[in-house]
Amino acid sequence: MSSIGTTTRIGKYELGRTLGEGTFAKVRLARNVVTGEDVAIKVLDKEKLLKHKMVEQIKREISTMKLVKHPNIVQLHEVLASKTKIYIVIEYITGGELFDKIVKKGRLQEDEARKYFQQLINAVDYCHSRGVYHRDLKPENLLLDADGNLKVSDFGLSALPQQLRADGLLHTTCGTPNYVAPEVINNKGYNGATADLWSCGVILFVLMAGYLPFDESNLMNLYRKIYRAEFRCPSWFSTGARRLVSRILYPNPKSRITIPHILENEWFKKRYMPAKFSEEDNTNLQDVENVFSDSGEHLVLEKKESKPVIMNAFELISMSSGLDLSGLFEKQQELLKQETRFTSKCPAKEIITKIEETAKPLGFNVHKQNYKMKLQGEKTGRKGHLSVSTEVFEVAPSLFMVEVRKAGGDTLEYHSFYKNFSVGLKDIVWTSEVNMAEAV
């Protein structure tokens, strides 16, 4: 692991480890070398965007994020471009996904669920006031910052006013089936605000119940239940929560409760704290066009520097929860996130070999590149093929940290995979004396 690696510098940002991967983008941790601030940078390949006719969608996503400056929405700092890449610099959120919290706890207590729902409604109401409709609201797209506050992310499917047709409605069917409103499936046009609100209602149900109100393996059966709003609240829902969920998950959008009425709802108002912020109405969308311009005057240079691939103390701390390094040595039965880590005292090459030997019997093809590996599932799952990335870092002489994260596919399928995967790796996982004591 002491072999020479390279780091990339984009303008004032030094790119670090990969936080996540998608079909058209990779999200990297980066550091502003001027201020020392951590940011996340979404890196997109220009050639791929052109080939797949994604340019307008990316322009729309960037424009949307520039329009919505709110404390409960992930903030866009700036947009940069080189000759081959687009760099979207956004706020780095350290608390993970709300989805992971639900999976770990099973369900949230009503007061905690209400707090997140209040922040969600605050953010969504603000988006709608700016003519922005998210269209893919779900717990996986809701992040938590270091203080436990909710941050809405991923505006890749969002709509702006210019997408409304002559009838004043949106017509593109999009979103995640379990969270999508009946009028969106109906394919006759829908109001973006009421459709978003339906998704908020599903999220509120999931937060308090720990499971989906509409969940069927057969898509047509799922849609039938959504059309009819066939669901039942668990017995532990309070009367106020039950009534509000029922008014949000009402199949006729014209009779569905609106956000102004939610803000006046007694259950919702309990301990309600509106978001405090000063809105600056100086949004300039010119740089959105600049990054796709052929002109060289707006381009930044990509500088590559060679240095050892060693995980330093700062990076270790940034990967843990706050300053608690115990998060780096997670107990196997508690690995419920989309990104997990363990440490090993085995040689790096032995770790790589063991990962490969464990993954193949589980039905995964293995692609190696030095100390990075991509595990690609052979079977098609709920969201395509499950894809898992692994990377080995040197923490200290004879001590390595292995990061395993979901790169694509369904999160619950990843959890199931990791349970089996971790069993096969148990011989190389280093257990500290502290962990041994906890296990007793």
pLDDT at 329: 42
pLDDT at 432: 46
Given the structure tokens 């280093």, which residue do they identify? 430
R_g (Cα) of the chain, nearest Å: 23
Do 390 and 323 lie in one domain? The reply is yes
**By the 8 A CB rule, do 74 and 27 touch?**
no
Do 368 and 422 lie in one domain? The reply is yes
Given the structure tokens 């704290």, which residue do they identify? 273
Do 83 and 113 lie in one domain? The reply is no
pLDDT at 187: 81
Q: How far is CA 122 from CA 10, 88, 365, 389, in A?
A: 34, 25, 44, 35
Do 130 and 244 lie in one domain? The reply is yes
CATH code of the domain containing 334: 3.30.310.80
Residue 283 lies in a domain: no
Q: HSE on the CB side for 51, CA within 13 Å?
A: 7
Do 402 and 363 lie in one domain? The reply is yes
Q: Which residue stretches of the chain have pLDDT < 50?
A: 1-4, 306-309, 321-336, 432-440
Q: How far is CA 14 from CA 189, 315, 363, 382, in A?
A: 45, 13, 36, 36
- Residue-number span of the structural domain to which 237 is assigned: 98-269
pLDDT at 326: 39
User: What positions carry a catalytic annotation?
Assistant: 136
Nearest to 19 by CA among 84, 83, 97: 97
Residue 298 lies in a domain: no
Residue 78: strand pairing partners: 89
DSSP 280-323: ------HHHHHTT-S-GGGPPPEEEEEEE-B--HHHHHHHSBTT
pLDDT at 280: 62
Count: domains in the chain: 3
Do 139 and 108 lie in one domain? The reply is yes
pLDDT at 336: 45
Residue 294 lies in a domain: no
pLDDT digits (tens, 9 = 90+) for 53-96: 888 888 888 888 888 899 999 999 988 888 888 899 999 998 88
